[in-house]
Amino acid sequence: MTDVSRQIISLIHSFNSYHHQNKVAYTFDAGPNACLYLLEEDVEMVTAVIKHFFPPADSSEQFVTGIPVVTETIDKDFISSVALPVQQGAIKYMIHTVPGPGPQLCTDGNDCLLNEEGFPKHLVSEKRKIDCVS
């Protein structure tokens, strides 16, 4: 995690506290990139808050990619309640998307990523054995 990752966490906790409920949840991918989960009705408000505290370095670049978001007017009372500095360019971009359909059952063996022995198909071209000798 980075300092920006920790600031995103702080911002989300402040946002939830201000609204007296958990409106936004967060997790992280394999790196410092925050993944936020929230209801569609709150997307515009949360996007506006993030853009306020982490505005793009270059206003001509597209900051929010994916599904378009029209950001609403920001709540000035919330902004004044947050002890977080504005950091221009600290976030390169945001991706607005929706969760996928979840796990899928592969009924056709050709769709599976593993062979019959449980090894990845693209890495195993023949049966191999590894002996560990100490």
CA-based angle 61:4:21, to the nearest 5? 100
Pick from 99, 103, 65, 81: nearest CA to 10: 81
Q: Is the pLDDT reported for residue 50 higher than 90?
A: yes
CATH 3.30.70.890 for domain 3-96: yes
Phi and psi, residue 35, nearest 5°: -115, 120
Collapsing DSSP states into helix, strand and coil, what is residue 3?
Answer: helix
Query: What's the pLDDT score for residue 134?
Result: 38
Structure confidence by residue, pLDDT tens digits, 114-133: 888 888 887 644 544 455 55
Percentage of residues of the chain with pLDDT beyond 70: 91
Q: Are 69 and 44 in contact (CB under 8 A)?
A: yes
Give the span between the Cα atoms of 32 and 1, in whole angstroms.
5
Phi and psi, residue 6, nearest 5°: -65, -30
- Give the confidence band of 78 by pLDDT, cuts at 50, 70, 90: very high
* Minimum mean pLDDT range among 12-21, 22-31, 95-104: 95-104
> Mean of the per-residue pLDDT values for the chain?
87
pTM greater than 0.85 (yes/no): no
Residue 6 amino acid letter: R
- Give the confidence band of 79 by pLDDT, cuts at 50, 70, 90: very high
